[in-house]
Amino acid sequence: MIDLYFWTTPNAYKVSILLEELEQPYRVMPVHIGKGEQFDPAFLAISPNNKVPAIVDHDGPGGRPLAMFESGAIMMYLAEKLASPLLPADPVGRYATVQWLMFQMGGVGPMLGQAHHFRKYAPETIPYAVERYTSEAHRLYGVIDRRLGEAEYLAGDAYTLADIATYPWLRPYKWQGQDIDAWPNLKRWYAAVRARPAVQRGLAVLAAKVDRSGAPPQGERWNNLFGGARLGARQA
Ligand SMILES: N[C@@H](CCC(=O)N[C@@H](CS)C(=O)NCC(=O)O)C(=O)O
C-alpha cells in the first residue's frame, strides 16, 4: 500500500494521476499547507523540504517502508518499480522521458508557479515580476507547442511520465496569463491527456478530499505559505 501525502496542487496531482494510470491501490493523506501542516514533525520526517507531494511505500525495496519527496523522483520510482512503459525501458525513450520530466521539474513547475504567485497570491502587484513570469510562461508554452508539433507526446510517440507531470501545470493557464487557443499543438495534446480516464480519476480523488474554495489564501494561511511563519515553523 502507498500513502500519498498531498494538497490539491499540480505537483500532487502528478502523483495521483500516475497511481491511477498504474492501477495501484493507495491512500490519500491531506496535508493542509495553508494551515501549516507541512511543518508538523511527523510530515517533515517524510518530506524534509516541507512540501507535498510525498509518499510512503509500505512495500518498498526489500519489503521495507520507503519514504520519498520530490514529485519527479516519486514518479520515476513508481514507474520503475512496476516496470511501466510510462518510463520506457529502451534508453532513447527512457532519456527522452527523463529529459522532458526534468524540463517540467526545473522549468515549467517553478516558472509557472511564480506566475501564479505574482499574478494571484502576491499582496501587491509588482509589474516587473508579473511581466517576468508571464512572459517566461509564454516562452515555455511555445517550447511545448513546438515540441508537440513534431511529436504526439512530449517524449515522442508514447504517453509517458513527462506528459503526466506537465499536464496539471497547464490546467490553470488563465492564472498564468496564457491563452491555450494560441497554441494548436499544445491544445490538441491537452485535450488528449485530459480525456484519459486515469487523469480524470487522479484529479477527482484529491479534489474530493478537501474543502477548497479556490480563493487566494489570506492572513495566517498566506503567512504559512509565503510569509515569516515559515521560518518560525522550521525552528519550532
Ligand atoms: N519540486 C517539488 C515542489 C513541491 C511544491 O512546491 N509543493 C508545494 C505545493 S505545489 C508545497 O507543498 N508548498 C508548501 C510549502 O512550501 O510550505 C516537487 O515537485 O515535489
* 118-169 pLDDT tens trace: 999 999 999 999 999 999 999 999 999 999 999 999 999 999 999 999 999 9
pLDDT at 234: 67
Distance CA 82, CA 80 (A): 5
Grouping H, G, I as helix, E, B as strand and the rest as coil, residue 107 is helix
Task: Give the pTM.
Answer: 0.96
User: In angstroms, what is the span from residue 205 Cα to ligand 1's centroid?
Assistant: 19
Answer whether 52 contacts ligand 1 (Cβ < 6 A). yes
pLDDT at 186: 98
Ligand 1 atom having least distance to the Cα of 51: 12
Answer whether 55 contacts ligand 1 (Cβ < 6 A). no
pLDDT at 235: 58
* Banded model confidence at residue 8, pLDDT cuts 50, 70, 90: very high
Q: Which domains does the chain have, with CATH numbers?
A: 2-85+201-226 (3.40.30.10), 91-196 (1.20.1050.10)
Distance CA 197, CA 189 (A): 15
Answer whether 40 contacts ligand 1 (Cβ < 6 A). no
- State the burial class of residue 117 (Cβ atoms within 10 Å of its Cβ: 0-12, 13-18, 19+): middle
Task: Give, in order, the Cα–Cα distances in Å from 63 to each of 57, 77, 83.
Answer: 9, 15, 17
Extract the C-alpha cell encoding 195: 480525456
Ligand 1 atom having least distance to the Cα of 33: 14
* Banded model confidence at residue 187, pLDDT cuts 50, 70, 90: very high
User: In angstroms, what is the span from residue 86 Cα to ligand 1's centroid?
Assistant: 23
* Banded model confidence at residue 228, pLDDT cuts 50, 70, 90: confident
Among 52, 68, 78, 231, the mutation site with the greatest number of ligand 1 atoms within 8 A of its Cβ is 52
* Banded model confidence at residue 212, pLDDT cuts 50, 70, 90: confident
Beta bridge partner(s), residue 156: 153
User: In angstroms, what is the span from residue 22 Cα to ligand 1's centroid?
Assistant: 23
The strand order across the sheet containing 66-69 reads: 26-30, 2-6, 54-57, 66-69
- pLDDT mean across residues, the chain: 95
Answer whether 119 contacts ligand 1 (Cβ < 6 A). no
pLDDT at 85: 98
Answer whether 50 contacts ligand 1 (Cβ < 6 A). yes
